[in-house]
Amino acid sequence: MNISLILQQFLNGLSIGSVYAIFALGYTLVYSILGIINLAHGAIFTLGAYFTYALMGGRFGFNGLLANAALAVQLPFALALIVGSILAGLVGVVVERIAFLPLRQRGSDPLLTVVSSLGVAVVIVNLIQYLVGAESYTYPENTYGNLPPAINFGSADNPIPIRTVQVVIFIVSAVFVAILTYFINNTKHGKAMQAIAEDATTASLLGINCDRAIVFTFFISSFLAGVAGSLVASSVSIAGPYFGIAFGLRGLAVIVLGGLGSIPGAVLGGLFIGVVEAFVPAQYSGYKDAVAFGILFIILLVRPQGLLGRRLIQKV
C-alpha cells in the first residue's frame, strides 16, 4: 500500500466515520435522557433518506403502492436534506408517543421499551417496502450542483482522487456536530436536557418539563438519523428498505466504543470505526464488521466504560 492510497483511505474513513458519528449521536441523546437504546433509529435513518429522495422530486418505481408517484416539488439537495430530516424528526416524535410513552407511564422495565422500539423498526421497514418497493433509488445527477465528481488531493503526477460526495459528507456532518454541541451547552433547551440526563426527578422538581424535553430529544435524535441517511444515500444510493440495518448495528458499536451517553465519545468512536474500516483491505471487505467489533471487544476489555465514558458520566 503506497502513501497516496493510505491517505486516500484515511480521508474516506473520516468521511464515513463522520456519518457514523452523527448517527450515533442520536442513539446517545436518547440513551442519556431515558437510559434506553432506540432500536428504531436505523429505520428512521432509512426513512430520512427516502424523504429526501422524494423531496428532490425523485420518482418511485413500479413496485409498491405508490408506483410511479413523485412529488410536485423539486427542492435542491440542501433544502430537501433539511426538510426530509425534519420529517424524520417528526416521525421520531410519533414513535416516542406510540412506542415509548405508554410504557414509560406504566413504569415498565427499560427492556420492554427496547423490544417495543424493535417492533417499530420492523413496521417501518416493511411499510417502506409496501409503499415504494424494494428497488434502489439514487438522488438526481445534480445533487451537488456543478461540483466535479472527484477532487484531486495529490499532484497531477501522483493523483489522490477523492469523490466530492465524501468531502461534502464530512463537512456537513462536522457542521451538524458543531451546531448540536453549541445547542446542548449554550441554550436553555440544551441545559434542560443536561439536567434531565443528570437526574430526571430533581430536574422536574426544579420546574423543567420532562415530557417536553423527551419529545424534543426524540426529534433531534431522529433528525440526525435523517441527515445521516440522506448523506449516505447521496453517496451510495438507497439500497432498499433494509439499507439502515447495517448502520443500526454500527451505531451501537460506536456509542459503546465512545462511552455510553457521551457526546464527544460518539464523535470520536464514529471517526475511529470509520477509519479502521477503511483500512481493511478491499478484498476482505466482508470482514469489516469483524474488525470493527473485534476492536470494540478489545477496548471494552481494557476500558469497560468506553473511550470517553466515565463512572459518573456527564451525560448529554
* Burial readout 38-76 (b: 16 or more C-beta within 10 A, e: otherwise): bbbbbbbbbbbbbbbbbbbebebeeebeeeeeeeeeebe
Q: Helices marked H in 135-208 — which ranges?
A: 164-186, 188-198, 200-205
Which among 43, 67, 107, 62 is positioned nearest to 245, based on CA atoms?
43
Residue choice 81, 87, 88, 256 for contact with other proteins (CB under 8 A):
256
Q: Given the rule CB under 8 A, which of 73-81, 190-198, 208-216, 247-255 is the region that contacts other proteins?
A: 247-255
Rounded to whole angstroms, what are the CA distances from 153 to 148, 212, 231, 275?
Answer: 13, 46, 21, 18
Residue 113 or 217 having the CB closest to other proteins: 113
Residue 216 or 247 having the CB closest to other proteins: 247
Residue choice 3, 5, 171, 179 for contact with other proteins (CB under 8 A):
5
Q: Could you give the string, one character per residue 224-243, with x where binding to other proteins holds by CB under 8 A and - elsewhere?
A: --------x--xxx-xx-x-
Determine the 3-state secondary structure of 161 from DSSP. strand
> How many positions of this chain bind other proteins (CB under 8 A)?
57
Residue choice 3, 79, 98, 115 for contact with other proteins (CB under 8 A):
115
Which among 300, 312, 304, 273 is positioned nearest to 23, based on CA atoms?
273
Judged by CB under 8 A, the chain residues 121 through 150 that form the site for other proteins are: 121-122, 125, 129, 133-138, 140-141, 149-150
Question: Smallest gap, in angstroms, from Cβ of residue 133 to other proteins?
Answer: 6
Residue 88 or 128 having the CB closest to other proteins: 128
Q: Which three cell numbers stand for residue 7?
A: 491517505
Residues 6+ apart with CB under 8 A from 135: 61, 63, 240
Which position has the grid cell 447495517? Answer: 246
Residue 154 or 189 having the CB closest to other proteins: 154
Rounded CA gap, 170 and 204, in Å? 38
Q: Given the rule CB under 8 A, which of 76-84, 116-124, 171-179, 194-202 is the region that contacts other proteins?
A: 116-124
Rounded CA gap, 270 and 22, in Å? 8
62 binds other proteins (CB under 8 A): yes
Contacts with other proteins by CB under 8 A lie at: 5, 8-9, 12, 16, 35-37, 39, 59, 61-63, 68, 110-111, 114-115, 118, 121-122, 125, 129, 133-138, 140-141, 149-150, 161-164, 232, 235-237, 239-240, 242, 245-246, 248-249, 252, 256, 260, 278, 281-283, 285-286
